Amino acid sequence: MPQIVFLPHPKLCPDGAVIDAPAGKTLCDIMLENDIHIEHACEKSCACTTCHVLVREGFSSLSEASETEEDLLDKAWGLEAVSRLSCQSVVADQDLVVEIPKYTINHASEGGH
């Protein structure tokens, strides 16, 4: 069972977390099941970027990103080469280190129109 290290995030996971997670689940589901309440405004349907994460270690072991995910990631705050949407990132058998970006683009929660 892979171990996922979530780096500290000021609001969602202030102390960081180390979670043993079963392969075959998405990073988003793993976080939500372990009280890391990452935003997922589109209800995990690959239609927004609120669940954007940076996979600092183990990136290549995740399921491959779809073209739709890659197009959405172009709109994510703080995009990096190791960016993924956590709702689309299925964990395999390799350990991961994941960083949740400080900001997200969510017009509903930010009062945008």
Q: How far apart are CA 87 and CA 66, in angstroms?
A: 12
Contact 89, 27 (CB under 8 A): yes
> What is the pLDDT, as a whole number, of residue 106?
61
The predicted structure's pLDDT at residue 12: 94
pLDDT of residue 113: 36
pLDDT digits 0-9 by tens, 37-82:
999 999 999 999 999 999 999 999 999 999 999 999 999 989 999 9
**CA–CA gap between residue 67 and residue 75 (Å, rounded):** 13
Parallel, antiparallel, or unpaired for β 17-20 and 3-6? antiparallel
Using CA atoms, how far apart are residues 4 and 6, in angstroms rounded to an integer?
A: 6
Q: Is residue 110 over pLDDT 60? A: no
User: What's the whole-number average pLDDT of the chain?
Assistant: 92
